[in-house]
Amino acid sequence: MLTFFRIIRTGFLSFWRNRWLSLATVLILIVSLSILTSLVMVSVVTNTVVADIRAKVDVSAYFLPETSEEDILKIKEDLAQYPNIAQVQYISREEALIKFRQLHANNAVILQSLDEIGDNPLEASLNIKASEASAYKAIAGFLESKYSDLLDKVNYRETASLINRLFSITETIKRVGLAASAVLLFIAFLVTFNTVRLAIFSMRDEISVMRLVGASNFFIRGPFLVEGILGGLFASVITFALFFGLTYFLSPSVSNFLSGLDLFKYYYSNALQIFALQLGVGIAVGTFSSTIAIRRYLKI
């Protein structure tokens, strides 16, 4: 117990006495943690953007004018059983006409020609939203094969390329982001490891003295571990505060650009998880690099 306390005290003391090297380690860790936190934030933004775009994608099935409302509502119920369906909305011919008139309220020519036709030329439709962009193809196929006698057309065929492109773009964003974060974290680890190794290398004489006076390996390694933990602790606290301010000041402009996304609110309401991530990674990198870096100095 006494030894444990001394190890911690020695760790604090040498962290302070080697404050320039400690500062370097902390700064490198801050950079690494900032990269990590930025990646989390970027993934939040891309997820919002992707969800936003996906919400705007839908498929409409248009029915032949003679199809009864009853039949269409049956199909709607049938669709509700189908997997990956988020929402199905029925738009009757009358509703379609009202919408059409509203949309073209300022276009006299269209309204005039509509009046001249006299009859309602528009078709009733089902507007379908899927929970997965990849599901649209199957939904369109399902409708076309089962209700081909009632359907006029499914406009999926027209938006198919757009949907597929969007699908592949979001997948690419996710994959590239993941790969980039892995590479950056590895680089961060290497840099931290090197800084700690430099710190330990500069203390190799001290380590040899410790061994000489009969310090156990545990006693020699302990203070370096404490230093690693301290470095990780400081770095994570500073990074957390840094991003607190950063999201606070950047949030309004991000919200302008992407409506409905409040970065600061996200950061604030997930503060505990984000800090835990920073703290965990910071301490892990600090401790892990210390442990590996000192190993070679503890051989007989």
Rounded least distance, CB 297 to other proteins, Å: 13
Q: Does 117 bind other proteins (CB under 8 A)?
A: no
The 199-218 site mask, x for binding other proteins (CB under 8 A), equals ------xx-xxxxxxxxxx-
267 contacts: CB under 8 Å, gap ≥ 6: 41, 243, 244, 247, 274
Q: What does residue 125 show for φ and ψ, rounded to 5 degrees?
A: -145, 160
Q: Using alpha carbons only, give the angle 35, 37, 38 rounded to the nearest 5 degrees.
A: 65
By beta-carbon proximity to other proteins, the closer residue of 208 and 273 is: 208
Rounded least distance, CB 276 to other proteins, Å: 35
Q: What share of the chain is helix, strand, coil (3-state, %, to 5)?
A: 80, 5, 15
**By CB under 8 A, how many residues form the interface with other proteins?**
20
The dihedral through the CA atoms of 20, 23, 27, 33 has a sign that is positive
Rounded least distance, CB 38 to other proteins, Å: 37
Spatial CA neighbour of 126 closest among 112, 113, 115, 139:
139
Q: Does 219 bind other proteins (CB under 8 A)?
A: yes
Q: Does 108 bind other proteins (CB under 8 A)?
A: no
By beta-carbon proximity to other proteins, the closer residue of 11 and 282 is: 11
Q: Does 14 bind other proteins (CB under 8 A)?
A: yes
Rounded least distance, CB 288 to other proteins, Å: 23
Tokens 């979001």, residue?
170
Binding site for other proteins (CB under 8 A): 2-3, 6, 10, 14, 17, 205-206, 208-217, 219, 300
